[in-house]
Structure 1
């Protein structure tokens, strides 16, 4: 398990120190500023610098990227609906229904400047480490591995957005103001090289004083994720959606990249067999237990200094009447995806199931969604329109309703034991990478390699731990359907669904010209009536151009060597 609570508590402006030391060398050390030798002769400075670099992971906590709100990426997909129609709280809805809002002039979906600022700081650290650090070679490699782990993570986000970006490997490359984009394939190889180096040189676990740092398992996990994305682009893109010569990944390399993804996933699985990671039996507990054995890399929070607002933003409205913001809620499309407890599919066409749709569902449903009749914090959730606090509100009638517009609330990650989050905020961990995802990567990669048995084994390991029977999938297409299903329900509200649809090149069909739904529940004399209602008041839009987000025009103006992604 890996956390960075101790890291993000520390603020260190070492980058500023490095900026002021660039000057002529003199024999006498100046007394009014730091020299490179002075900074790097003290290992404590290196610790502070690299600790500060870990703050980049908080940029993406709880799926906040790219809108600036928690869970916003899932609200761009089919599993979550933001409740507001206003810019700000409802910006994600505006972007989801108007593809023209994403453009080179606008700030939306923009991580370019922040990402490259972090990359420069990391390259400055690597330069100082190589030229001035007074530590042994083992420590040097570990520091380099940490810096490259973080740099790989930053580049991974940039490439997910733009495909083709500028690769900067060392500080010497900043001497010119003209930098060109590299091919998308070379970008993935660069990221993989960073994570590979990190995996080779990071420890399996750190001592207590360095708890929270990147580990071998975290690096292998990120490497597996990277190669899975590269393989997906190679297989599914095939230059159908963008004619830029630098975007896309060679289709002939898809199998090799799936093999790389599988190899990296198996390295994490081997660590699991050594006792470092393990699936939890209690699904809901994973996301509020700071000591969960599923976490491979996570961010911890400690009150009162380091907190977040997940509960304030997503807890059911009656948890703090008049104060809960209820940014986003689950869609019916997600709710319908959860299986019955025996592993059979749920169907509204089944009269028995439709009469009591929330009974006998799999444990992931109860750990992810709050529904009408659910027991929560000593009360029974009431999502009928009759409840004035947390009952159903038709989307668009109120601009910012602060209640459900689908008949559901998010359960996953919300703390069931506290009600003081308005004043004291929240401290649940954000798990960036957990063991369940590794098994899903292994299953997908093995399926694509036509290794049916091992793909089934990976899926069954996960499903059995969640109380479900073995998968019935026995062909590659069936296994891919099973993988998509498992990723949709297992990783819901973890910021994965939108990016999965993009890498599979399915977003332009799943997220375009469609309206997603909820369930309006009303009492009847003998029970409840469940009515399917739209939670979108206009069709979703995802045009093929959105597979490659444009580079901000200001960056093109600042760099004469940089060209825009074709199509923008």
Structure 2
């Protein structure tokens, strides 16, 4: 692969060098509408435009989505969210959740390889230009490089979550090598960690208002903590049980070191919070609707009419706009039952008092996340009884129901004021990382290195925000049960659950040979009857081979030095 030589200002992209042969003579003249690398990097405005464009990669996974021919929240592959459609596209999530054979090298579905490496190439070109052409002081160059490596680390993090072992590229000279093999999973995580560590060392704690949306020191430390937590989890839980690829897996002996790294990185964010840069919102719902929230370490802002999204169109209850809403995914009964009572006790359908009025006296995150039968919403009362406008129907009874198949709708990240979203779309911000997640990372990492009281302190901070008591866990095993529960309810619909189950190597247990459920609500005199119903028409299927997704065949054909992930 050649180093790109020319730049088109309109697209802020480096394009291939131009060399024209005419009558046997080489003409080396730059076309008037193109600029050399030296010219582009000599102009600060162009450099700003270039790096701004790179941040668009975060939109790929906003709102928990994964691009699989269309966008779908990966929580739909888990016990938290049930997708309603049975047709290809809107219903692809259901296909993948119930038929592991649909994933293969020719069509892996969860495929980011080509898109990810295209972005990595652009970022490496930017870093190359910084060092070879830019006329900036060292501090400015380091800051630009830090931004580029923050984004590159994020792209690689997604590739490694999928495949474990991928090709590492950090300079343009490497592109001249035609045959390139994958690096080990451990080296991949170290590479990502190095990118985030460099970013943390060279990014500012905060930007002026003109720099809103750019990566900060806290965001980099947060991503670093997330990276080390994943590496540590793979080291502890994988133990080469699920494939024999020589490049996947991380030695179990290194788990403690990587948990310690995760704890230290998350401690750095907590220190920044103590300095006033971050805090949990007093009201949980505000973390998703307040554009000025200090809970977000890194977020994407949307502004009408040019920068918008379709979250409301996809997830708002049918009664919001009966002829337009799509109702992609709806909460499962399994998720609803996870939410505790307001006093911190467990909800149970076996308790006659609680079961008689199951949506009363639940903890605040329940009301901020779930729309249920009887919930107040946009001046009306949600009615999920069969036959109503937004009522329950049995999954599978129609291919594209556009209503709930579990008796619930997702409320989290929706706003009461969005009434004409089919026309003007939506503008809620997306937080790629929240301070609450950092506290949960800290709690998990501290648990694993046997600092249980420090872990309890971080876990309590998350629970105290919603007036729940501290966990009574006294062993690491009990603490991990509490942390898993907290990650389910705190991070619901944010796209973490599928990847948590994968890194804990629990997906083949939790997501295999099981159906998930809903609650059918029907009138029963002056009250209601609640019936557990299947939200799946066939059992879920997650085989151990899915812990490492195959590399798409076309990439193997393009790089003859690249081997497929075993056993694919």
**TM-score, normalising length: structure 1:** 0.96
CA distance in 2, matches of 1:64, 1:238: 29
CA distance in 2, matches of 1:270, 1:23: 57
Match of 1:228 in 2: 229
Match of 1:279 in 2: 280
CA distance in 2, matches of 1:251, 1:544: 19
SS in 2 for 1:65: strand
Alignment of 1:430-449 (within 5 A): 430-449=430-449
Contact 2:314–2:325 under 8 Å retained in 1: yes
Q: Which deviations, in whole Å up to 9, do the C-alpha atoms of 1:404-443 show, x marking residues without a partner?
A: 0000000000111121101111000111000000000000
| Structure 1 residues 326 and 443, CA gap change in structure 2 (3 angstroms) | same
CA distance in 1, matches of 2:333, 2:506: 19
Aligned length: 555
TM-superposed CA distance for 1:34, in Å, is 1.6
TM-superposed CA distance for 1:275, in Å, is 0.6
Match of 1:334 in 2: 335
| Structure 1 residues 76 and 518, CA gap change in structure 2 (3 angstroms) | same
CA distance in 2, matches of 1:23, 1:231: 53
Alignment of 1:322-361 (within 5 A): 322-361=323-362
Alignment of 1:192-271 (within 5 A): 192-271=193-272
CA distance in 2, matches of 1:45, 1:16: 12
* Residues 153-162 or 463-472, more deviating: 463-472
Q: Which deviations, in whole Å up to 9, do the C-alpha atoms of 1:261-284 show, x marking residues without a partner?
A: 000000000000111110011111
Match of 1:15 in 2: 13
Contact 1:519–1:531 under 8 Å retained in 2: yes
| Structure 1 residues 253 and 45, CA gap change in structure 2 (3 angstroms) | same
SS in 1 for 2:346: coil
CA distance in 2, matches of 1:263, 1:178: 38
Match of 1:456 in 2: 456
CA distance in 2, matches of 1:69, 1:415: 24
CA distance in 1, matches of 2:555, 2:27: 40
Match of 2:141 in 1: 140
Q: Which deviations, in whole Å up to 9, do the C-alpha atoms of 1:154-194 show, x marking residues without a partner?
A: 00000000000000010110001111000000000000000
TM-superposed CA distance for 1:30, in Å, is 4.0
SS in 2 for 1:153: helix
TM-superposed CA distance for 1:31, in Å, is 5.5
CA distance in 1, matches of 2:68, 2:332: 19
Match of 1:500 in 2: 500
Q: Which deviations, in whole Å up to 9, do the C-alpha atoms of 1:335-378 show, x marking residues without a partner?
A: 00000000000000000000000000000000000000000011
TM-superposed CA distance for 1:526, in Å, is 3.1
CA distance in 2, matches of 1:75, 1:103: 20
CA distance in 1, matches of 2:18, 2:190: 33
The RMSD of aligned alpha carbons is: 1.6
TM-superposed CA distance for 1:69, in Å, is 4.9
SS in 2 for 1:342: coil
Contact 2:197–2:224 under 8 Å retained in 1: yes
2:109 is the alignment partner of 1:101: no
TM-superposed CA distance for 1:292, in Å, is 1.2
Match of 2:127 in 1: 126
Alignment of 1:280-319 (within 5 A): 280-319=281-320
Q: Which deviations, in whole Å up to 9, do the C-alpha atoms of 1:116-147 show, x marking residues without a partner?
A: 00000000111111111011110000000000
CA distance in 1, matches of 2:73, 2:220: 26
Contact 1:145–1:198 under 8 Å retained in 2: yes
SS in 1 for 2:340: coil
Q: Which runs of 5+ in 1 are unaligned?
A: 1-10
Contact 1:149–1:219 under 8 Å retained in 2: yes
TM-superposed CA distance for 1:72, in Å, is 2.1
**TM-score, normalising length: structure 2:** 0.96
Q: Which deviations, in whole Å up to 9, do the C-alpha atoms of 1:522-553 show, x marking residues without a partner?
A: 00013000000000000000000000000000
After the TM superposition, which segments of 4 or more aligned residues of structure 1 sit over 6 Å from their partners? 21-24, 26-29
TM-superposed CA distance for 1:206, in Å, is 1.1
Contact 2:83–2:94 under 8 Å retained in 1: yes
Match of 2:114 in 1: 113
CA distance in 2, matches of 1:428, 1:250: 42
Q: Which deviations, in whole Å up to 9, do the C-alpha atoms of 1:477-498 show, x marking residues without a partner?
A: 0000000000000000000000
SS in 1 for 2:82: strand
CA distance in 2, matches of 1:247, 1:27: 49
Contact 2:97–2:541 under 8 Å retained in 1: yes
CA distance in 2, matches of 1:444, 1:162: 24
Match of 2:390 in 1: 390
Contact 2:108–2:549 under 8 Å retained in 1: no
Match of 2:91 in 1: 90
SS in 2 for 1:532: strand
CA distance in 1, matches of 2:303, 2:73: 24
CA distance in 1, matches of 2:17, 2:140: 26
CA distance in 2, matches of 1:210, 1:439: 26
TM-superposed CA distance for 1:216, in Å, is 0.2
SS in 1 for 2:470: coil
2:490 is the alignment partner of 1:490: yes
SS in 2 for 1:20: coil
SS in 2 for 1:313: helix
